[in-house]
A and B are shown apart, each in its own frame.
Chain A
Amino acid sequence: MLVPGMIFLILFKYTPMYGILIAFQEFNIFDGISGSPWVGLEQFQKLMVSDEFGRVFRNTLLISFYKIVILFPIPILLALFLNEVAKMWFKRLVQTIVYLPHFLSWVIIAGLFVNILSPSGGLINEMIVALGGKPISFLIDNNYFRSVLVLTAGWKEVGWNAIIFIAAIAGIEQDQYEAAALDGAGRIKQMIHITLPGIAPTIVLMFLLRIGHLLEAGTEQVLTLYNPVVYETGDVIGTYVYRVGLGKLDYSFSTAVGLFNSVVGFLLIVSGNWLSKKLLNRSIW
């Protein structure tokens, strides 16, 4: 029974790992891995001194950092708020609506936001103009592009990310609330002293998971939204690998960038898991 699964695993997961070797070569597609000359760490030296890579690495960290700081707390708040809603139909309705964008592709979301943010008649700019401002070309302005990335990522995933906290809240024992109510704690006090501590382990776990994916600043998202004008602030490791590798056909250098990305990402995930085992006695896998 394992045969098809193993063939898949070896062919499509482990063979590409063997392909990483070309990061240590001056790879030529006609000679293949066995025929291309070895150059040791030359590609990595090139990477370390490249201004472009420095910029890309900085963008990746900044975008990811903004997304964590701004977007991590919102799903927790959303879950807390939904928990306070007594009317079931209202709760269901809100949940149904806010989960939906998670299931749309980044291309569709780019299509929606290209319209909304358009300087000529986009909804947001109409509002800005109505309030007496000047229209802003959000998608081709380096001052705003990162904000657009954070905004659209939030729009897509905030609702979905709340699910896990909603489930954690559901797991809190009810008699704690009853005891607190007897002691005269109001709803806000209950929220702060019972619900929040109750879901704290989940919050920490999700936070560590999120840190583990620090270098994934949203390749697909950036690919659908950016253009050469905002490479300055929007180019991230994933899009850079794609651009250099398949655009300029510099396979070896691009694989070196990709390998750097994979190794750092792997270390982040493993240390996140180690921390969560240590702090919470729970591991991610």
Chain B
Amino acid sequence: MNKRTYADYSLDAVIYLVLILMALSTLLPFANVLAKAVSAEWAVLSGKVGLFPIGFQLDTMKFVATSPQFIRSFLISVGVTIVGTLLSLLITAVTAYPLSKRKLPGISVILILFVFTMMFSGGIIPNYLLVRKLGLLNTLGSLILPALISVFNMLVIKSYYESLPESLEESAKMDGAKDWTILFRIILPLSGPVLATIGLFYAVSYWNDFFSPMLYINSPSLKPLQLYLRDIVMDANSVTAGLDRSADDLMNVSSEGVQAATVIASTIPILLVYPFLQKYFIKGVLIGSVKG
């Protein structure tokens, strides 16, 4: 329709250049750490590894993947994420249902009580003392129970319920269905996309959580992956020291390389779910944040 002018071409050039630079700067840190994880010990130690591996080897990755503490922490994180996500999703979806019925008496007061906690909280110490008093310190329950419902996520599910046509429920009620039946047989099966989004949000937050284990978990045998990773990031030397590995195992492995390999290994699960996540999250964010 319109002829492209010289100005159009230069504008495009600037835009593409800026966007390419942004994308590259997002990718560079990954490339650097990945290169370190698979480079030879001497190359890593002499600081020569940039974006490409030097003296390619997989011993470091193998060392990390077979480290007993890494495996244990990894499994703990997988367990907490699966159990936590399922429980959170169930309770959040069930709680959101009555709250979506504005006509029920007293429901708006309860809703305000929930929303208030998004803006005001007891703070770190009272939360810590509560978890301690409940006897949850050094249990995996301390990583799940205090985070069971995210009010933000609940509001997203609630507004999705509200967008479903009311006539669906009315006709089910005429057929004699009870509230629980309506929720589980009619509403939830229609809520697939929003439940998938919120489920993935919960999964990511359980997987990434390092603050609650830092507060509540002391025992090394219960350390989730993020906490283990933090020890390694903060003190690279702690990695290779103290592990009962034979000298043979440590031959081609530098502590900096192990640090890099652990970062990569902890990122892989997120990279695996990311394509599925991406399909849904934009919608989820939009329902949640732009409500007129």
- A residues whose Cβ falls under 8 Å from a Cβ of B: 1-2, 4-6, 8-9, 11-20, 22, 29, 78, 81-82, 84-85, 90, 93-94, 96-101, 103-108, 110-116, 118, 120-123, 126, 155, 158-159, 163-164, 167-168, 181, 186-188, 202, 219-220, 223-224, 227, 238, 241-242, 245-246, 251, 254-255, 258-259, 261-262, 265-266, 269-270, 282, 285
Contacts and interface: CB of A to CB of B under 8 A. Distances in A.
B240 to A, nearest CB: 16
Given A8-B91, A22-B125, A269-B119, 18 more contacts: A8-B149, A14-B117, A15-B130, A16-B123, A17-B122, A17-B126, A20-B123, A78-B22, A81-B15, A94-B19, A111-B260, A116-B32, A123-B50, A164-B290, A186-B5, A187-B7, A259-B123, A266-B119
A19 B278 CA distance: 40
B259 A19 contact: no
B43 to A, nearest CB: 9
B121 A107 contact: no
Interface in B177-226: 179-180, 183, 204, 207-211, 214-215, 226
Contact of B19 (A82, A114, A155, A158): A82
Contact of A98 (B23, B113, B119): B23
A61 to B, nearest CB: 19
Q: B-side binding surface: helix, strand, loop or mixed? A: helix
A241 B125 contact: yes
A116 B68 CA distance: 28
Nearest to B112: A285
B229 A115 contact: no
Given A8-B148, A101-B26, A16 B126 contact: yes
Contact of A100 (B26, B118, B148): B26
Contacts of A219: 211
A111 B262 contact: yes
B282 interface: yes
A110 B236 CA distance: 13
B229 A5 contact: no
B145 A12 contact: yes
Contacts of B250: none
Interface residues of B, number: 94
Nearest to B146: A12
B97 interface: yes
Given A121-B49, A167-B290, A114 B233 contact: yes
A254 to B, nearest CB: 5
Interface string B19-37: 1101101111110110010
B208 A104 contact: yes
Nearest to A112: B29
A103 B285 contact: no
A100 B98 CA distance: 35
Given A13-B121, A96-B278, A167-B286, A224 B210 contact: yes
Contact of B274 (A103, A265, A270): A103
B129 interface: yes
A270 B115 CA distance: 12
30 contacts: A1-B95, A2-B98, A2-B110, A4-B95, A5-B91, A13-B117, A16-B123, A18-B122, A22-B129, A82-B19, A101-B26, A103-B208, A103-B270, A106-B210, A107-B229, A110-B230, A111-B260, A112-B32, A120-B47, A121-B49, A126-B47, A155-B25, A163-B282, A164-B286, A167-B282, A187-B11, A223-B211, A251-B129, A266-B120, A269-B119
Given A2-B98, A5-B94, A112-B33, A19 B7 contact: no
B28 A115 contact: no
Contacts of B120: 17, 262, 265-266
B48 interface: yes
Contacts of A202: 290
B145 A255 contact: no
A282 B291 CA distance: 8
Contacts of A18: 122, 126
A108 B267 contact: yes
Contacts of B124: 238, 241-242, 245-246, 254, 258
B128 interface: yes
B125 A258 contact: yes
A105 B208 CA distance: 5
